[in-house]
Amino acid sequence: MKTHTIRLTSADGHEFGCWESTAANPKGHVVILQEIFGVTDQLKEFASVLIKENLSVTIPQLFDRHQPDTVVPFSDADTGRAIMNSLDLNETLSDVEASINHASRSPLPLFIIGFCWGGGVAFRAAQRFVTSGTIVFYGTKLGDYLEDELLGPALLHFGKTDPLTPPELVEKIGEKFPSAEIHTYGCGHAFANHHRQTYDEESSHLAIQRTIDFVNRHLGDQGTST
């Protein structure tokens, strides 16, 4: 395993950092999209689980457009939310595309995993960019992205009591995207973040195992372009 920080450049010339770890014998590559707190130690710890599954990982610093290397404490969600709201979605997707292009230099299957804000961005990216699959953990703003089709397989995890993804929205998503694999858990938002009080160990372990199984099933997929 090799871990380092790299710099990438988006189509508009914006330069941003990425944390990256390369598995010793990788079978695929995963781009992880952050919560509203930046590229935290928690995300790197989640990445270590994937690396043990022989998946290399890149985590772009999507808050670099606000200020380079921004990491917000979990106790200060208001600041993270303010930064999120200050960013332009198309510019953020440009950074995601640059990360995908970087990872795609390898012929390995490529997946996107997003959490919270990054989950919504991942879902939108799955409507623009062809990958082997997209995994969304309690993505936000999904109600804004119900018009366009997904370009590849998708797995979505939701907490049943998460106010950001109420049951009626999850139902709409299932109706609009019948091919998507959707799971709900008896918990709230951010249940897979073991650094927060919202963490639910049983639900998190199950969602992570389902994520690994999903990746293994779709290692040969290339998505469907339009």
The residue extents of the domains of the chain are 2-217
- Across 194-208, b (16+ Cβ under 10 Å) vs e yields eebebebeebbeebb
Q: Give the ranges where 7-155 is alpha helix by DSSP (H).
A: 41-52, 77-86, 89-103, 117-125
What gap in Å lies between CA 29 and CA 7, rounded to an integer?
Answer: 17
- 226 pLDDT band, cuts 50/70/90, is very low
Q: What tokens were used for 130?
A: 């062809």
Express each pLDDT in 124-140 by its tens digit.
999 999 999 999 999 99
Alpha-carbon span 33 to 16, nearest angstrom: 14
Tell me the average pLDDT of the chain.
96
Q: Mean pLDDT over residues 10-36, rounded? A: 97
If we measure between CA atoms, which residue out of 62, 65, 3, 7 comes closest to residue 37?
62
- pLDDT for 220 equals 78
CA dist., res. 8 & res. 18, Å (int): 7
Class of CATH domain 2-217: alpha beta
pLDDT score for 222: 58
Q: Using an 8 Å Cβ cutoff, are 131 and 152 in contact?
A: yes
pLDDT over threshold 80, residue 209: yes
Task: Please state the pTM of the whole predicted model.
Answer: 0.96
**CB-count burial class (<10 Å; 0-12, 13-18, 19+) for 95:** buried
What is the spatial distance between Cα 119 and Cα 134, in angstroms, rounded to a whole number? 9
Q: What is the mean pLDDT of residues 145-153?
A: 97
